[in-house]
Structure 1
Amino acid sequence: MFRRRPPLPPFPPGGVLVGGAARDWLRGVAAKDFDWMVPDPAGAAHLLAGALGGSAFELDAARGYWRVSAAGGVQHDLVPRPADVEEDLQRRDFTVNALGVLPGGRVLDVVGGQADLRARRLRMVSRGNLRADPLRAWRAARFELTLGFRLEDGTEAAVREVASDLAAGRLPVPAWERVRDEVHALLRSMDAARGVGRLEELGLLALTVPELREGQGVVQGGFHHLDVFAHGVEALHQLIGRFPDAPVPLRWAALLHDVGKPRTLMRDELTGRTSFHGHDRVGAAITAQVLTRLKLPGEDVRHASALVGAHMVPLPATEREARRFVHRRRALLTDLLAVMLADREAARGPLSSEASRRAYARGIERVLAALEEQPSAPPPLLRGEEIMALLGVPPGPRVGEATRALAEATALGEVGTPGEACAFLLAWAAAN
């Protein structure tokens, strides 16, 4: 059932290979992250570093944890070997992770993990273990998706129970950084859209991104055939299908691009038609709140939020408009086009047609052609001091406005020399 097993790395003295690396080795999958239990982590780390040509450093002095970084991004973590290895394995989350490998390939299996591996079954070691660290509920969804295993019925019921108890405050919510890491591991999957649906089925999405669930049952009509929630999930699916290397912030932007619609819903009493005016602006703010709560880096929060805020910008109908589009959104451009394309391809409602999709594609082509023609912003024709002297204004907002106006005129090809720039600014100042 599984592929031929890859060679094992050299074992540190007294070492037991545990965790995901042991599981993956039994599945015939080459690992890059190895977890070891060893009697002497410091000594074993230096020996392993020498054998692999890597570097050893201490991770946690109080607990005696060490790490070895080797070529090709391979990493070995070493922790003190407990007095009873089998007892330690029985405290793990799932049976497929409660396996140990000894030198020569002998396997320690105290909870039936190998049988579950063969059956592609994800089964908890115990209900108590799952509840001892509620993050394991998110990990169950992630493993089910990324390993291609099926949650065993009793384990699924226990995961749902953990989600319910978390929502009710009967269990402590894990640190957001830990939740984020599990969700991001799921989002990086090619099947991330199904993973989002699985989080919803298990009761975990309400604990992670409740704002996304507000779109359930919010019918859109027009270009859309799905409600707001399902459309966001489908947009994520469309994005990954076209851009499989899309980074996580871009995936968040696709998933959340319409998250502002439920809070901006307006219904015309006479026609019954719905509208969502300003949902891009509201959605950008919600996206920032969601990703800040999940402890994403500030730059990623700002980027994803800006993409959501800009996804409704009309595509250009002319070459000149395309140059302006590129100039005004250069920092977002390729990711913004990806989100806009995913949004359009996820909409197959009655107003959507092959002709409308072709027109949309032509707009994107105009932008890409303008970007190819001008891959970077033209250098400024005048310095700030020159602009102030020309217009006779002191430092302040007026100088910034003039600088931006001149930069856009330069990008559009309306001015190309310092003399033309001066004439443009004098005319601009007179009109503004």
Structure 2
Amino acid sequence: MFRRRPPLPLFPVGALLVGGAVRDWLRGVAPKDFDWAVPDPAQAARELAAQVGGSAFPLDEARDYWRVHVPEGVQHDFVPQPDDVADDLRRRDFTVNALALTAGGKLLDPAGGQADLRARRLRMVSEANLRDDPLRAWRAVRFEVTLGLRMDAATEAAVRQVAADLAAVRLPMPALERVRDEVQALLAHPDAARGVRRLEDLGLLALTLPELREGVGVQQGGFHHLDVFGHELEALHQLLARFPDADLPLRWATLLHDVGKPRTRDTEMRPDRTTFYGHERVGAELARQALTRLRLPAAEVDRVTALVRAHMAHLPISEREARRFVHRRRELLPDLLRLMLADREAARGPQSTPATRHAYALGLERVLAALEEQPAPPPPLLTGRDVMALLGVPPGPAIGEALRAVAEAQALGEVRDAEEARAFLLGQEGGL
């Protein structure tokens, strides 16, 4: 658990290093965020900024909270030193965060956090502290996954009770932006799928992504050996095992790719099997609603929505179809292929055979080859004015439709220059 401890920066005059930075230092991990309790936060922040070439600014002037951003991405926060440091530490969330370190190397540990770190135990300082800020329930799950700890029985019971009281509106729900930050920190970890399952186990997923947990117990059959929820978690696991650098939008899209299945489940159209026709379209809108509710940036929501909507695209069986696939979905590549591969590898049902998996792999390879052959769209052969002059039509939707038809023909190698593009349009005029 503990490695050789990294060096710490020079302590400001009279400062205590507190919280997570001390925890990480004890674990042998170089902290990225430093929390300092100092006699004069403004002065300490300005002095540090001058030393390291960073920028100092107030976070909360009324409470005298200051922050310094260091060029290497390290962050230092400064707050006034409390009159009773031990009492202040006892008001924190977990014992592993209720730590402080003096410039002389003395560890202040009133709640026994160092012993809990050694035991890989996550223990609340008190249930009252947990309930004072219910977001700490989500943080407990994040710490289990990202720090390799495990809640003790009392802490787990308290987290379950917080979730139950939030669901019954006996406690106020934390701001969704704060919930989002905890969940995204969880998703950024290689073992994110386990963390999401833990949220479900503790009753927190229903408060976070109720759309996702609708898949619990929804059986699929066919290519699938897991229920919808289990399959989505396994797909996320497969994605991160193969593509550990996957960004958050791709992780979200993989987790939510089948979120529309419970609402499109149909056993009447095909009595011999369950179908989920249109689940990618329904799922795209559910993903949009969920991530908008969690206040993700609009551009990221759009990306996730587009990936979910496209994940059922048929893979090509020829080079020509591969070029068409790339042309129509270029903006989503290669992430769409990564999602599709994770989806396929998460499926191990009775219809999943070595032959079907091999055929799927060949389709992916065709798309990758076409993408490598044409990594960027070729420059357009015609302009809107060219099309209007050629076809004798006014501005309108038909112009865009014509330009898209030419662009696809160009991507497929059917037209190579402006003259061939004009001939192509004239030949297609009746069908545009």
TM class, shorter-chain normalised?
Answer: over 0.9
User: Which residue of structure 1 aligns with residue 330 of structure 2?
Assistant: 330
User: Which residue of structure 2 aligns with residue 414 of structure 1?
Assistant: 414
In the TM superposition, residue 289 of structure 1 has moved relative to its aligned partner by 0.6
In the TM superposition, residue 271 of structure 1 has moved relative to its aligned partner by 3.1
CA 1:379 to 1:269, structure 2 compared with 1: closer, same or farther past 3 Å?
closer
User: Which residue of structure 1 aligns with residue 190 of structure 2?
Assistant: 190
Partners of 1:236 and 1:255 within 8 A in 2: yes
Please tell me the root mean square deviation across aligned C-alpha atoms, in Å.
1.1
User: Which residue of structure 2 aligns with residue 108 of structure 1?
Assistant: 108
User: Which residue of structure 1 aligns with residue 139 of structure 2?
Assistant: 139
106-115 vs 153-162, which moves further: 106-115
In the TM superposition, residue 269 of structure 1 has moved relative to its aligned partner by 7.4
User: Which residue of structure 2 aligns with residue 8 of structure 1?
Assistant: 8
Alignment of 1:107-126 (within 5 A): 107-126=107-126
SS at match of 1:104: coil
Alignment of 1:1-400 (within 5 A): 1-268=1-268, 271-400=271-400
The amino acid that maps onto 2:410 is T
**1:51-85 C-alpha deviation (Å, 9 max, x unpaired):** 33323222222222211122321111111112222
2:389 & 2:51 partners in 1: Cα distance? 67
The amino acid that maps onto 1:273 is R
Partners of 1:16 and 1:101 within 8 A in 2: yes
In the TM superposition, residue 6 of structure 1 has moved relative to its aligned partner by 1.1
SS at match of 2:368: helix
2:272 & 2:424 partners in 1: Cα distance? 49
1:80 & 1:203 partners in 2: Cα distance? 37
**1:176-219 C-alpha deviation (Å, 9 max, x unpaired):** 00000000111111100110111011110111111111111111
Q: Which blocks of at least 5 consecutive residues in structure 1 are unaligned?
A: none
Partners of 1:10 and 1:48 within 8 A in 2: no
In the TM superposition, residue 50 of structure 1 has moved relative to its aligned partner by 2.7
The amino acid that maps onto 2:50 is G
**1:149-182 C-alpha deviation (Å, 9 max, x unpaired):** 1101000000000000000000000000000000
The amino acid that maps onto 1:293 is R
The amino acid that maps onto 2:240 is I
The amino acid that maps onto 1:220 is Q
In the TM superposition, residue 270 of structure 1 has moved relative to its aligned partner by 7.4
The amino acid that maps onto 2:247 is P
1:312 & 1:159 partners in 2: Cα distance? 38
2:139 & 2:431 partners in 1: Cα distance? 61
1:362 & 1:61 partners in 2: Cα distance? 60
2:115 & 2:220 partners in 1: Cα distance? 47
SS at match of 2:72: helix
64-73 vs 384-393, which moves further: 64-73
**1:128-148 C-alpha deviation (Å, 9 max, x unpaired):** 000000000000000011100
**1:265-287 C-alpha deviation (Å, 9 max, x unpaired):** 11037734110000000000000
Q: TM (normalized to structure 2)? A: 0.98
CA 1:365 to 1:289, structure 2 compared with 1: closer, same or farther past 3 Å?
same
In the TM superposition, residue 427 of structure 1 has moved relative to its aligned partner by 1.2
2:407 & 2:431 partners in 1: Cα distance? 17
The amino acid that maps onto 2:323 is R
1:168 & 1:143 partners in 2: Cα distance? 25
348-357 vs 69-78, which moves further: 69-78
CA 1:389 to 1:22, structure 2 compared with 1: closer, same or farther past 3 Å?
same
SS at match of 1:312: coil
2:53 & 2:397 partners in 1: Cα distance? 57
2:351 & 2:420 partners in 1: Cα distance? 46
CA 1:380 to 1:101, structure 2 compared with 1: closer, same or farther past 3 Å?
same
SS at match of 1:339: helix
The amino acid that maps onto 1:22 is V
1:93 & 1:31 partners in 2: Cα distance? 19
Q: Percent identity?
A: 70
Q: Which blocks of at least 5 consecutive residues in structure 2 are unaligned?
A: none
221-230 vs 51-60, which moves further: 51-60
In the TM superposition, residue 86 of structure 1 has moved relative to its aligned partner by 1.5
Partners of 1:176 and 1:294 within 8 A in 2: yes
